[in-house]
Amino acid sequence: MWKYILKRGLYLIPTLLGISLIVFTLVRLIPGDPAEIILGQRATEDVIVIIRRQMGLDRPIYVQYIIWLKNLLTGNWGKSLISNVSTTYLLRNRFRYTINLAIFSMSLVTAGGLFLGVISAYKAGSRIDKFIRFMVIFGWSLPSFLVGIVLIYLFALKIKLFPAFGAGELRHLVLPALATSVGGISYISRITRGSLLEVAGQDFVKTARAKGLKNRRILISHILRNALLPIVTVLGMSFGWALSGSFIVETIFSYPGLGFLTTQSVSMRDYPVVQGCILFIAIIYSLTNLVVDVLYVYLDPRIRYERGI
């Protein structure tokens, strides 16, 4: 198992290097000059040239990338061009908000998705099943920003039950978490229903029914336990997505997470922060997928046998 984990971990190195190169190149293609943004419109051309030289922006792009990559490997992620604060400090400060939102959102996704999926599968073909499937499709089709706007209008402006902006208290998490989790609940519900119905048609379930076991016991002891593998995999990947930060939702609610920091930095052409945010998010997502892959192998003996683990 440890050899497999090490092998999978080594695969992340070229992946992250490729991501870093793409991110570095795309950030440089963003219109606007950071030196001009820092100095303002009244700055003379001579001063702009001096600042660009100090920031290293006058060098070829490949030289800038090599220097940036070397600094990354030594733990120096650079400083914000706007606030002069280290990128690592900004990432640490904002990540705690993102992880709180991710945990809250995934709690809603897990509970809601499993509940609706189990009920829909248990009542397959009934009106309840059809209603749940309709709501799931409807929820899956709704973009998160639209859900966020509706939630702000209803619960912040009209009912005034939850705040629309800010962070620091549990009530600040409710609306962003709901906006983020609607699509996840719909997706997990569909996966759960499909997995349960697939397992329900297998021979060992038919044998359990032939023995006269009650449907509820068959569902819990036989079907649900064997159907959890794809559900756990999807939940793990969804958690990685949630940890990556929802850019649009965090921006709508002015929630100070990684997504909001990234959009702010892009608008201000803050190269080091944009690069640091996207690379940090890529690392988190890659590590989460690694954990999910290892967990998948651990839970399914057939995979271990096929891969010789």
pLDDT in tens, 159-217: 989 998 888 788 999 999 999 999 889 999 999 999 888 888 888 777 877 877 777 77
Last residue of a domain, one of 41, 73, 105: 73
* Count of structural domains, the chain: 2
Residues 147 and 256 grouped into a single domain: yes
Q: pLDDT above 90 covers what percent of the chain?
A: 26
Q: What residues contact 46, with CB distance under 8 A and at least 6 apart?
A: none
Note the pLDDT tens digit of each residue in 92-119.
999 999 989 999 999 999 999 999 998 9
By 3-state DSSP, what share of the chain in percent is helix, strand and coil, each rounded to 5?
A: 80, 0, 20
Residues 118 and 249 grouped into a single domain: yes
Residues 160 and 22 grouped into a single domain: no
Count of Cβ atoms closer than 10 Å to residue 239 Cβ: 21
| Mean pLDDT score, 243-262 | 84
User: In what helix (H) or strand (E) does residue 11 lie, and over which residues does it extend?
Assistant: helix 2-28
* pTM, two decimal places: 0.82
Residues 236 and 139 grouped into a single domain: yes
Note the pLDDT tens digit of each residue in 206-225.
787 787 777 777 777 777 77
Residue 260: domain span: 95-307
Residues 51 and 167 grouped into a single domain: no
Residues 101 and 47 grouped into a single domain: no
Residues 276 and 129 grouped into a single domain: yes
Indicate the DSSP class of residue 81: T
